[in-house]
Amino acid sequence: MYVFIKGYIIGISIAAPVGPIGLLCIQRTLVYGRRAGAVSGLGAACADSTYAAIAGFGLSAVAFLLLQARIWIALIGGVALLYLGARSLFAKTGYTAAQTIEPNNLFWMFGSTYLLTMSNPTTILSFLAVFAAIGAIGAGSVFLSAALTVAGVFLGSASWWLILSALIHWLKKGISPQVMNWVNRASALVIIGFGVYGVLLFLISLGII
């Protein structure tokens, strides 16, 4: 139980800081409703648990490859954020959008958030640092302990995203369509900013700028 709770706390601590994924989930909740925000958050939680498995089960070779490719990963994530930010910038806001969203769109939201979280170079660095600090990495870690830690990370991250999407959906009821439109545009611009940062990081690493 202690190992599970420790993983649960790690999941919340990794998911809670505001970043491009959090803004994306908030924006989707505002535009498409609570279900879209929750599904997007679950995609992020699955990505968090994937990285937790890499760190918890001691898959050092995989972690090394990810660290070596982090600049290219930053480029992929940056381009994806630019696309999603631009797409969100021109999205129609309203209270009826959540009622017309299709299952295929929910699957796309889940998958896109999963890939975006996986393409965030800071995510694997955060997990490796946290796991090393608490002693969850190492040859002495048994399979059951690692599995419980990964399960705790998933549930901790997932609970954060579900609570966040429910809270945003509740707050949305008191927001006028005009204000919602401005909030949507502002969050989209910030997401685009994160995308520009990822691309610039790649260009700087190559010495282009």
Domain count, the chain: 1
Q: What is the mean pLDDT of residues 167-175?
A: 79
In angstroms, what is the C-alpha Rg of the chain?
A: 18
What DSSP letter does each residue of 125-175 carry, written as one string? HHHHHHHHHHT--STT--HHHHHHHHHHHHHHHHHHHHHHHHHHHHHHTTS
pTM for this entry: 0.74
Q: Which domain holds residue 77?
A: 2-205
Residue 1: predicted pLDDT: 75
Residue 95 predicted with pLDDT over 50:
no
CA distance 108 to 111: 5
Q: Which two tokens stand for residue 202?
A: 């790649």
Residue 159: predicted pLDDT: 92
The region of weakest confidence among 43-47, 82-86, 123-127, 133-137 is 133-137
Encode pLDDT of 2-25 as tens digits.
778 888 888 887 777 767 788 888
